[in-house]
C-alpha cells in the first residue's frame, strides 16, 4: 500500500490535461502542470539541503505557487509549516526558533528582516515568493527536472506542522502525519460525495487547516477543479457561482452572501454543496441561507489538531445549530472535564476524540501533549458540547470560555442564544470578566441591527424571564461589530481584555 500523503492524493489524479485550478484573472493550471511543477519544486528544496523530516516554514500570500510549494515539500519528504500572513517579525522569530526550519520562504518584502532574525541563524536558505507567484524559490524550481522521484515516507511520518492560534500562552505546533491528512481527505471525499466533476470555490486562506487540508486535499483527492480566489469577495463569489458545484466557507462567508442582493436560487442553481466550519454557524444564518437559495448549509466541526471530527449528513437532516455526527473512523465521547469519565447522553461536557485523524502531539512539547491526551489515547479537544437524543453533536463553546460566576457554571452559548433571539439583535458574545464578589461577572456584548434601539436594562429584564438569576449579564454593552479573526472566530480573549475593568473599583 502507498502510504505517503502525496502518493495517496496522486493515486486519484485525473488526466494530465484536466484543469486543477483557475485563478480569478484566468490563469489555468492542469493536473499535469501541478505534477511537473511540484516535482521541480521538490528538486529545488532538496538542492537547498532539505532532508526527510526537515521543516520548511512558509509565510506567503495565497497563490497557486504556494500550493505547488506545499506539494513540493511533501514530495521532498519535508514537513510543511505554513504561517499566517498576519504574523509579525517577532512572532516569526518565535516560530523559526521553535521549529528550526532548514528553509524559510517569505514575501520578497520581508526577506531581509527574516534573514537577519537572530533565530534564523541556523536556517540554510531564506527564499521568496510573492502574491503574483514569482520569487527566488520559483526561479530555482524552474531549473530542475519535472520527474522528481518522491522521497518515501511512512504513514506515521510528519507531513506538516500547523501552529495553533494560541489565545493564551505560547502557540503550539500541531504535528500532522501523512496518514492524518490522507485518511481525513479520503473520508471527506466519500462523506461529501466529491468527484472529478466538482468545481470548488476556494476563497479560504491556505495557511490554515480549513483552506489547506479540508478544501485543497479533499478536492485533489477527488481530482476535481477549483476556482481559486485570493480572498473572499461576495461579488466575485457570486459571479463565479454559476460555474461551481461546491463551496467551503466560514460562517462570515454566508452572512456576507445573505446580505448581498445577488444571492438567490438562480445564481446557486448549479451548486450541490455548501459547507461551513471553523466557527459556529448561527441557526438563523442556516435558515436565512436556505430561504434565499433553497440550499441547507452542511456544518461540520474540526480543529487544527484533529482535522475533521464530525459532519452533518449529506443525505438526511442537516440540523441547524449542530455539527452533525462523528465521521467514519472517529470515536467521539463527551467527558467530564475533571475526571475524564464518559458522561451519559444529553449531558454537557468536553469532546474527546480518537482516530486516524488525530495529530501526533505538539512539536517539542511532550508535557503539553501528555496533558491533552487521556491514557487511552483520546485527545481532549477543549470544546464543550452535548449530544442530543438523535446523536447530533451540539457545540456549546470552548472550555476556557466557560464562565464561573459565584461558583455556578454559565455556558455563554445559552445566554447568547437568548439575546440573539430578541428583535433588533444581530448577534452577541457573552464573556466572564473579573468580579470582586462573584469571581467572574457575566458580561454581554451585543450588536444591534441598524436603527434598532434597546437599552441595557431592557435586555436584562427580558433575559430575567428566561434564565436563572446567576446566568444574567451584570452588564450589557453595545458595539457596532464583534472582533473576529480571519477564520471568522469571535475573539473572546479580546473582549475579556476590553471589559476587564468593568467590575473593578
- Interacting residue ranges for ligand AMP, rule: CB under 6 A: 164-165, 209, 277-280, 299, 301-304, 323, 381, 383, 395, 398, 487
From first CA to last CA, the distance across the chain in angstroms is: 66
Q: Residues, the chain, total?
A: 505
Contact present, 310 and 332 (Cβ < 8 Å): yes
Write down the residue that cell numbers 447522553 correspond to: 345
Rank residues 138 and 396 by Cβ distance to ligand AMP and give the closer one: 396
Q: How far is the CB of 14 from ligand AMP (least distance, A)?
A: 29
Rank residues 425 and 487 by Cβ distance to ligand AMP and give the closer one: 487
The b-or-e profile of 272-308 (16+ CB within 10 A means b, else e) is: ebbbbbbbbbbbbbbebbeebbebbbbbbbbbbbbbb
> Cα(393)–Cα(284) distance, rounded to whole angstroms?
18
SS3 content of the chain, % helix, strand, coil (to 5): 30, 25, 40
Q: How far is the CB of 305 from ligand AMP (least distance, A)?
A: 7
> Cα(345)–Cα(339) distance, rounded to whole angstroms?
17
What does the CA dihedral 154, 155, 160, 165 come to, rounded to 10 degrees? Answer: -150
Rank residues 137 and 298 by Cβ distance to ligand AMP and give the closer one: 298
Rank residues 271 and 395 by Cβ distance to ligand AMP and give the closer one: 395
Rank residues 3 and 164 by Cβ distance to ligand AMP and give the closer one: 164
Parallel/antiparallel/unpaired status of strands 158-163 and 173-177: antiparallel
Rank residues 31 and 95 by Cβ distance to ligand AMP and give the closer one: 95
Q: How far is the CB of 89 from ligand AMP (least distance, A)?
A: 23
> Cα(422)–Cα(462) distance, rounded to whole angstroms?
9
Grid cell digits, residue 11: 493515486
> Cα(474)–Cα(281) distance, rounded to whole angstroms?
26
Contact present, 419 and 459 (Cβ < 8 Å): yes
Rank residues 183 and 306 by Cβ distance to ligand AMP and give the closer one: 306
Contact present, 72 and 105 (Cβ < 8 Å): no
Residue 156 CB neighbours (<10 A): 11
Contact present, 167 and 217 (Cβ < 8 Å): no
Rank residues 133 and 302 by Cβ distance to ligand AMP and give the closer one: 302
Beta bridge partners of 161: 175
Rank residues 125 and 250 by Cβ distance to ligand AMP and give the closer one: 250
> Cα(352)–Cα(374) distance, rounded to whole angstroms?
9
Q: How far is the CB of 384 from ligand AMP (least distance, A)?
A: 9
Rank residues 10 and 393 by Cβ distance to ligand AMP and give the closer one: 393
Q: How far is the CB of 449 from ligand AMP (least distance, A)?
A: 24
What is the helix (H) or strand (E) element at residue 493, kind and residue range? helix 492-498
Amino acid at each position: 500500500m502507498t502510504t505517503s500523503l502525496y502518493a495517496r492524493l496522486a493515486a486519484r489524479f485525473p488526466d494530465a490535461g484536466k484543469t486543477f485550478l483557475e485563478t480569478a484573472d484566468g490563469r489555468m493550471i492542469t493536473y499535469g502542470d501541478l505534477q511537473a511543477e511540484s516535482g521541480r519544486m521538490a528538486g529545488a528544496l532538496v538542492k537547498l539541503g532539505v532532508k526527510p523530516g526537515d521543516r520548511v516554514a512558509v509565510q506567503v500570500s495565497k497563490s497557486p505557487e504556494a500550493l505547488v510549494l506545499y506539494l513540493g515539500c511533501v514530495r521532498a519528504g519535508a514537513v510543511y509549516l505554513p504561517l499566517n500572513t498576519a504574523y509579525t517579525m517577532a512572532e516569526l522569530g518565535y516560530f523559526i526558533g521553535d521549529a528550526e526550519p532548514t528553509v524559510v520562504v517569505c514575501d520578497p518584502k520581508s526577506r531581509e528582516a527574516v534573514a537577519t532574525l537572530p533565530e534564523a541563524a541556523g536556517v540554510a536558505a531564506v527564499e521568496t515568493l510573492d502574491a503574483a507567484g514569482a520569487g527566488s524559490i520559483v526561479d530555482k524550481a524552474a531549473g530542475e527536472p519535472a520527474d522528481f522521484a518522491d522521497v518515501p515516507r511512512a504513514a506515521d511520518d510528519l507531513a506538516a506542522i500547523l501552529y495553533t492560534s494560541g489565545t493564551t500562552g505560547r502557540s503550539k505546533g500541531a504535528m500532522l502525519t501523512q496518514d492524518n491528512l490522507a485518511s481525513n481527505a479520503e473520508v471527506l471525499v466519500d462523506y461529501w460525495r466529491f468527484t472529478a466533476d466538482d468545481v470548488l470555490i476556494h476563497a479560504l486562506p491556505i495557511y490554515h487547516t480549513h483552506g489547506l487540508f479540508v478544501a485543497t486535499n479533499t478536492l485533489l483527492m477527488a481530482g476535481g477543479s477549483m476556482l481559486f480566489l485570493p480572498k473572499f469577495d461576495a461579488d466575485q463569489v457570486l459571479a463565479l457561482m454559476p460555474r461551481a458545484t461546491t463551496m467551503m466557507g466560514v460562517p462570515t462567508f454566508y452572512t456576507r452572501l445573505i446580505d448581498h442582493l445577488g444571492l438567490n436560487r438562480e445564481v446557486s442553481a448549479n451548486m450541490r454543496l455548501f459547507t461551513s466550519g471553523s466557527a459556529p454557524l448561527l441557526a438563523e444564518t442556516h435558515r436565512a441561507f436556505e430561504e434565499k437559495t433553497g440550499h441547507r448549509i452542511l456544518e461540520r466541526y474540526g480543529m487544527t489538531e484533529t482535522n475533521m471530527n464530525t459532519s452533518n449528513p449529506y443525505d438526511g437532516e442537516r440540523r441547524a445549530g449542530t455539527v452533525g455526527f462523528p465521521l467514519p473512523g472517529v470515536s467521539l465521547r463527551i467527558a467530564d472535564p475533571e475526571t475524564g469519565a464518559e458522561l451519559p447522553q444529553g449531558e454537557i461536557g468536553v469532546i474527546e476524540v480518537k482516530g486516524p485523524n488525530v495529530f501526533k502531539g505538539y512539536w517539542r512539547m511532550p508535557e503539553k501533549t501528555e496533558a491533552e491526551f487521556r491514557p487511552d489515547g483520546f485527545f481532549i479537544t477543549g470544546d464543550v458540547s452535548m449530544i442530543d437524543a438523535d446523536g447530533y453533536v451540539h457545540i456549546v463553546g470552548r472550555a476556557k470560555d466557560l464562565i464561573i460566576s459565584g461558583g455556578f457554571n454559565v455556558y455563554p452559548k445559552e445566554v447568547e442564544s437568548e439575546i440573539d433571539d430578541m428583535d433588533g439583535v444581530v448577534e452577541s458574545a457573552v464573556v466572564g470578566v473579573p468580579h470582586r464578589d462573584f469571581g467572574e461577572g457575566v458580561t454581554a456584548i451585543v450588536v444591534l441591527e441598524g436603527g434598532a434601539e434597546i437599552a441595557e436594562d431592557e435586555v436584562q429584564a427580558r433575559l430575567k424571564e428566561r434564565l436563572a438569576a446567576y446566568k444574567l449579564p451584570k452588564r450589557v454593552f453595545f458595539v457596532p461589530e464583534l472582533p473576529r479573526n480571519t477564520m471568522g472566530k469571535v475573539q473572546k480573549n479580546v473582549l475579556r481584555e476590553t471589559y476587564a475593568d468593568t467590575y473593578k473599583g
